[in-house]
């Protein structure tokens, strides 16, 4: 990991935005923008929408700050509901996921440190949704971005109950 050599600034109006029927992702700073220090996105989820299925990062902590609404966060086997102003940090190797809490929308700022070069992964998700990419491409991309999806019975039960 290198250090940030200059201040990285992205204005909201200039952020690349990826929109799906249930979520809007604003790609703010990728790892390459911060010299590897961090990467950050803003995710706005419609009522009940999933933000990410269970996964973990080998070397990075993922921080979730709730800008508005309510979100459910899986960390290991624990599921917590966070509200506006709450923050959670999930350490490396810990299975985690996030979604809008049942009956609520959620607006989250997500920071991964040290950074993971992941914007191309989010672009690939968008292309997959539009039928312009394959699941095999997505699975190959996950390994490149230090992102391995896991089974989580607690998260599956929670999402089925909501």
Examine residue 5 and state whether it is found in any structural domain, yes or no. Answer: no
Whole-angstrom distance, CA of residue 44 vs CA of residue 59: 26
Rounded distance between C-alpha atoms, residue 17 and residue 63, angstroms: 20
Q: How confident is the model at residue 135 (pLDDT cuts 50, 70, 90)?
A: confident
CA distance 157 to 138: 25
DSSP code of residue 102: T
CB 43, CB 110: distance < 8 Å: yes
Render 4-27 in DSSP notation, one character per residue. P-S-----GGGSEEEE-SSEEEEE
Range of the domain at 137: 14-155
- For the chain, how big is the Rg over CA atoms in Å? 15
In a domain, 36, yes or no: yes
Does residue 83 lie in a domain region? Answer: yes
53: CATH: 2.60.120.10
Two tokens, residue 95: 């299975």
Residue 9: inside a domain: no
58-71 pLDDT, tens digit per residue, is 899 999 999 999 99
Number of domains, the chain? 1
Query: Of the given ranges (2-6, 92-96, 105-109), which has the lowest mean pLDDT?
Result: 2-6
CA distance 152 to 102: 19
Domain assignment of residue 116, yes or no: yes
């Amino acid at each position: 990991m290198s250090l940030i050599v200059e201040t990285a600034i992205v204005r909201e109006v200039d952020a690349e935005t990826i929109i799906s029927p249930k979520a809007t992702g604003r790609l703010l700073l990728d790892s390459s923008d911060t010299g590897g220090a961090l990467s950050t996105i803003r995710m706005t989820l419609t009522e009940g929408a999933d933000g990410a299925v269970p996964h973990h990062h080998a070397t990075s902590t993922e921080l979730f700050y709730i800008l508005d609404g309510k979100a459910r966060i899986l960390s290991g086997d624990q599921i917590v509901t966070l509200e506006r102003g709450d923050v959670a940090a999930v350490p490396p190797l810990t299975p985690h996921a996030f979604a809008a809490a049942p009956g609520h929308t959620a607006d989250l700022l997500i920071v991964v440190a040290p950074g993971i070069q992941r914007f191309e992964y989010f672009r690939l998700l968008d292309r997959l949704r539009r039928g312009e990419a394959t699941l095999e491409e997505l699975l190959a991309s996950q390994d490149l971005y230090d992102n391995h999806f896991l089974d989580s019975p607690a998260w599956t039960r929670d999402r089925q109950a909501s």
